Structure 1
């Protein structure tokens, strides 16, 4: 899995690549710029998360996880300006009889609604299904997060269920819709 750390997945308007330690500053700025926007759908993070040092630690954690094949975190960059505009994760990778993983993503508030979330998801699917040979990908989304639901649907994910009181966000339990995409439905 060591070669995955140098992998670049290229699309029409964006590319995905693993984070490097030199990205800590731009990752920190992305996180700060979107703190309240992303805070509507993400769990509360410790204050250390919102620091340069916290993001440098995250990048090192990402690199370790990717090197071990446990999870895969990519920055979403614009092709033209090479600006970091989001993050996409493939995590909870299970091997053996499962061959599955969970997808998560977030885009800078200024880049929502432009089809870039869908493009990033479509870029990571061949990596998940062909390179990693996974059979199933799942994703969870809050029922009121219509843009994210649309991203999943456009990429072929199907709604499978509802998870009540799934995660605490802003001090309240939030339910999620469960979506999934099978390799046989993608190919």
Structure 2
């Protein structure tokens, strides 16, 4: 399954991607560390990323979460990751979106393009009704990505995630299928 946009495409990770995923993760460790949870050191190894890819594949196979690499169309470079996780079925039909881009590709609209690419998959293919996302209040670029994709601010989650040894609060955003354009 490949989701293709104008400048990028999204595709599930394969075990052969472990090296490029490892390089992406380690290259952006301090940059992403400003807004992501504290990961154990084993996460930042080739073997850790190979295990992650196997975990991603299992989650996709079970329909629990969907993790895609964000690749450039021109050179097929891995430049980020986008996740659709906490997929709930039945009366919920919902999921949570998370994404991160290589520091060298921020500010070019690629985060917005990747988010817009995953929306048809979530709302049409998976038939979800609601997507939510959480973002730190000072992460203005990520807030802008969500707003450009039609997400609306719904609330504030105090002391939501431990980041760099401190509890960080997050803004809660959501997009409903009926509001998706």
Aligned partners of 1:56, 1:125: CA distance in 2, in Å?
27
Aligned partners of 1:121, 1:92: CA distance in 2, in Å?
17
Which of the numbers 16, 20, 23 marks the counterpart of 1:26?
A: 20
How far does residue 170 in structure 1 lie from its aligned partner after superposition?
A: 0.5
How far does residue 134 in structure 1 lie from its aligned partner after superposition?
A: 0.1
Q: Deviations over 1:59-90 (max 9, x none)?
A: 00000000110000000000000000000000
Which of the numbers 90, 109, 115 marks the counterpart of 2:103?
A: 109
Matched, 1:165 2:130: no
Q: Deviations over 1:151-185 (max 9, x none)?
A: 00000000000001101100100000000000000
How far does residue 115 in structure 1 lie from its aligned partner after superposition?
A: 0.0
The aligned residue for residue 134 of structure 1 is 128
Q: TM-score, with normalisation over the residues of structure 2?
A: 1.00
Q: CA RMSD, aligned part only?
A: 0.4
Aligned partners of 2:167, 2:41: CA distance in 1, in Å?
21
Moved over 6 A (4+): none
Aligned partners of 1:155, 1:43: CA distance in 2, in Å?
24
Aligned partners of 2:23, 2:31: CA distance in 1, in Å?
14
The aligned residue for residue 144 of structure 2 is 150
Aligned partners of 2:116, 2:161: CA distance in 1, in Å?
26
How far does residue 53 in structure 1 lie from its aligned partner after superposition?
A: 0.1
Aligned partners of 1:86, 1:17: CA distance in 2, in Å?
11
How far does residue 30 in structure 1 lie from its aligned partner after superposition?
A: 0.1
Structure 1 residue matching 2:21: 3-state secondary structure = helix
How far does residue 45 in structure 1 lie from its aligned partner after superposition?
A: 0.4
The aligned residue for residue 89 of structure 2 is 95
User: Is there any run of 5+ residues in structure 2 with no aligned partner, and where?
Assistant: none
